[in-house]
Amino acid sequence: MSDFPEELRALLRQPDTAKVIATVGREGAPHVAARPTLQLLANGDLAFAEVLDSSQLSKDLVYALWFERPIAIGISRGEAAWQLTARPWRCVVAGPLLKQFLLAARAAQGPDADIATVWVLRVDAVRDDSPETQRLADAALRPNAGAHLDRESLVRRAVVS
């Protein structure tokens, strides 16, 4: 279980945060799916509602759980971005957690809304993936490398009279 910075916790609570899950299935094909219901549980796991067992994401998560393959999760909003590495930990088919997500879906979409399962994901690593954090990290590692020399903060422009 990984530590969740407060900024990431706050992002996960925001309804307009982009939450995507990247998987690789049995045939090796990569797949990315947005899952807005992704949320942090009290024990540090993540969970989201899946509508269909037949979705590519469901199949890939079963594959990852069975054969111990990692998955990636991207969380972003504006300039803030986080990258998580996780494992599908549990596929919930009945009980309080399923009921909680189902009732939330019905409150949001109406009484005919339905879900098949709730997936619980166990997070192994959390990384700040925002452009600014990456730039600062890169600058600290390679202070004079890579950036274009014509940037405003570097170049001294000759004053033409």
Chain residues in the site for other proteins (CB under 8 A): 25-26, 53, 58-60, 62-63, 65-67, 89-96, 98-99, 102-103, 106, 114-117
Task: For the CB of residue 63, give the shortest distance to other proteins in the complex, in Å.
Answer: 5
* Vertex 80: Cα angle to 28 and 10 (nearest 5): 100
User: Is there a contact between 102 and 49 (Cβ–Cβ < 8 Å)?
Assistant: yes
Q: Cβ closer to other proteins: 25 or 70?
A: 25
Q: Cβ closer to other proteins: 77 or 122?
A: 122
* Vertex 135: Cα angle to 133 and 139 (nearest 5): 120
Task: For the CB of residue 35, give the shortest distance to other proteins in the complex, in Å.
Answer: 17
Q: Cβ closer to other proteins: 25 or 74?
A: 25
Distance between CA atoms of residues 26 and 21, nearest Å: 16
Distance between CA atoms of residues 84 and 86, nearest Å: 6
Task: For the CB of residue 66, give the shortest distance to other proteins in the complex, in Å.
Answer: 3
Q: Cβ closer to other proteins: 45 or 128?
A: 45
Residue indicated by tokens 């997500």: 101
